[in-house]
Structure 1
Amino acid sequence: MAEFELRRIALPTGVELNVAIAGDPANPPVVLLHGFPESHRTWRNQIPALARDHYVIAPDQRGFGHSSKPGGVENYTPDKPVGDLLALADHLGIGPFTLVGHDWGGAIAWMAALQNPQRIARLIIVNAPHPLVFQRSLFDDPAQREASQYMTAFRNPDFEKFVERIGLEAFFDQSFAKYTDAALLEPEKPAYLAEWSPPGALTAMLNWYRGSAVLVPAPGETPERPVWLDAPFPPVTQPALVIWAMQDTALLPVQLDELPGYVPDLTVVKIANAGHFVPWEKPELVTEAILEWLA
């Protein structure tokens, strides 16, 4: 695997990010955003291949990895990591760029692309639902609602006490075991536990869920339906590639059904035999899909 440089970059948004950087700055820029509960290491298998022809930037997002972990849920509303993303691009002097996101990184990528079409030239999403499609599915699709109840658990202010009681290693097993092949994870466990162990690290990661406005009704509940769920919604104007691992049990394939209506220039690549953490579960297939589409 090719090496990448790790830099500590202070941003005007008030955080310092730990950022993996690879490739020639003269090449087209690609920014990779990880999700919960990971770091730039999500992309450890993609960075070397992308860096051959691209300038690759993969930050630990705020609250994750070895980046700053500001206190307070208000520091983890989605606009904050979007601000970090744009500030990081400014710091590195890159113009329009390709944005890639998985899980929470994908949620930030959708939002950033919708709000900043002048900065984000192309969008690549890996198992991360479109914001409107996801919220609608939580009201209309019982299976997706059931699968998303972990979000409610993570928002519980006593969740850290639960993790303290069972231990960080047990939480590691619970976080991943339902969603991937545990054998793939074992060699990576020390790196993850090192990222999660510092004081406040777990709370910072969980605050992404607590700072989100996504409504997660309980199974069987019939809450009042937000008017905006059925109102017009702006399209994604960039060309977009959506890579979806079809065995994801947290974010179900129903997330693909309505996408063409909101992403006019859409390419979908389905990966049949993989779960949610597909960037490292099936790294060759993800890398191949990205490189072919970028070409």
Structure 2
Amino acid sequence: MGLVSKIIGAVVLQVISTCLSVMVLGSILLKWFKVGNAIFSSKPRPTPPTILEDPKWGSHGYITLKKQAIKIHYVEKGDRGNPLMLCLHGFPEFWFSWRYQLAEFSSKYWVVAVDMRGYGDSDKPSQCSAYEIEHLVEDIKQMVLELGKEKCILMAHDWGGAIAWRVVNSHPDLFEHHISFNGPHPGAYMEHAKSSFKQMCMSWYMIFFRTPWVPEFWISNNDFEFFGPVFRGEKNNTEAFPNEVIDAYKYNYSKKGALTPPINYYRSIDFNRNDKISRTTVPTLIIWGTDDMALGKPMAAYALKWCESAQLKYIEGASHWVQQEEPDKVNSLVWEYLNDAAIAAK
């Protein structure tokens, strides 16, 4: 019965994915009728935008994860003798999404914002299986060790957040604190999705992204037009995401071969997995933008039930991209949490 259920589930997912792809291709075709062949063109971007090379974000480096045989690019700021604060981005981001935290927390911490495997200037394995969750979790464990630290503070967002929940559970001794920004706890996500048709609709892209080549075509069409609406949202928040920031994302993803590996994270999801999810023992702070277009607000509260020691702070009106959109509020909450933890430890 288990095998039959898996087969039926795989067929249903494939049918839904195909239907979503047809709808997306239809929308692109309609756009083609309106604007012509321009939707198939992209602006050449041979050099990075100035904002990506601003030294105030930090300096660039690489580490090789020997066990994984993969090279990871990162941006660091702060004294290497200070406690490590490791930052994991989500989709469709790269190290740049942590620019405000690199600048803010480097006064007391060694802040390292990585390009996850497959992203930015990190290695991009070609096999889809290279992006299965076991490899992603092992990457984070090895990063901490290769950076020469026995413990660190782990900050993570979106996909990085989903990985972080798993790595703090499987390797709790490596982490002093865990700070999650709109990052879905796997148990909380399933609990909410099963009870919320709205969340199932909000997660449509997770199934759509399983389709070959269509997601890449959709994101890249009309000179990567995708990045403006996805970051600015319905409010068209050009203050948090001005053109220079959108151009940074377009530059990153317009590089040859830059789109498929990040999308392979979704293609590698095994929806039939039934892992036993353990409680999180690492002290955790959850910061959640309430206007998240991809992850429903109840998910944040559900995550508390999976933690032995956790705090939840909402930022009302903030979008999914909370640490970029409301950096001052986010940074203030993180400082408050870490300072209180330091006082309590004395």
Superposition TM-score, scaled by structure 2 size = 0.77
Matched residue, 1:10 = 64
Amino acid of the residue matched to residue 337 of structure 2? Answer: W
Does the aligned pair in 1 maintain the 2:57–2:100 contact within 8 Å? no
Percent of pairs identical after alignment?
29
Counterparts of 1:101 and 1:164, CA distance in 2: 24
CA 1:274–1:137: 2 relative to 1, 3 Å: same
TM-score normalised according to structure 1 size: 0.89
Cα distance, 1:27–1:112 mapped onto 2, change above 3 Å: same
- 1:2 partner amino acid: K
Aligned equivalents of 2:228, 2:271: Cα separation in 1: 26
Distance 1:284 1:14, change over 3 A: same
CA RMSD of aligned residues (A): 2.0
AA matched with 2:270: A
Provide the rounded CA distance (Å) in 1 between the counterparts of 2:81 and 2:234.
38
Instruction: State the alpha-carbon separation in 1 of the partners of residues 152 and 302 from structure 2.
Output: 26
Instruction: From 147, 166, 171, give the equivalent of 1:111.
Output: 166
Q: Which of 246, 252, 261 does residue 204 from structure 1 map onto?
A: 261
Write the distance in 2 (CA, Å) between the matches of 1:168 and 1:242.
35
Deviation at 1:181, TM superposition (A): 3.8
Aligned residues: 282
Secondary structure at the residue paired with 1:17? strand
Moved more, 80-89 or 201-210: 80-89
Matched, 1:239 2:239: no
Give the AA of the match of 1:10: T
Is the CA contact 2:304–2:311 (under 8 Å) kept in the aligned structure 1? Answer: no
Asked if 1:294 is matched to 2:338, the reply is: yes
Q: How far apart in 1 are the matches of 2:301 and 2:56?
A: 37
Q: Which residue of 1 aligns with 2:251?
A: 194
CA distance in 1, matches of 2:280, 2:57: 34
Picking from 110, 118, 122, the partner of 2:177 is: 122
Q: How is 1:71-220 mapped onto 2 (pairs within 5 angstroms)?
A: 71-160=126-215, 162-163=217-218, 166-178=221-233, 181-183=236-238, 184-185=240-241, 186-214=243-271
Instruction: Tell me the alpha carbon deviations over residues 14-71 of structure 1, each in whole angstroms, 9 at most, x when there is no partner.
Output: 2211111111122111101000011111110111211101111111101111111110
Tell me the CA shift for residue 256 of structure 1: 2.2
Residue 320 of structure 2 corresponds to 276
Larger radius of gyration: 2
Contact 2:150 2:174 in 1 (8 A): yes
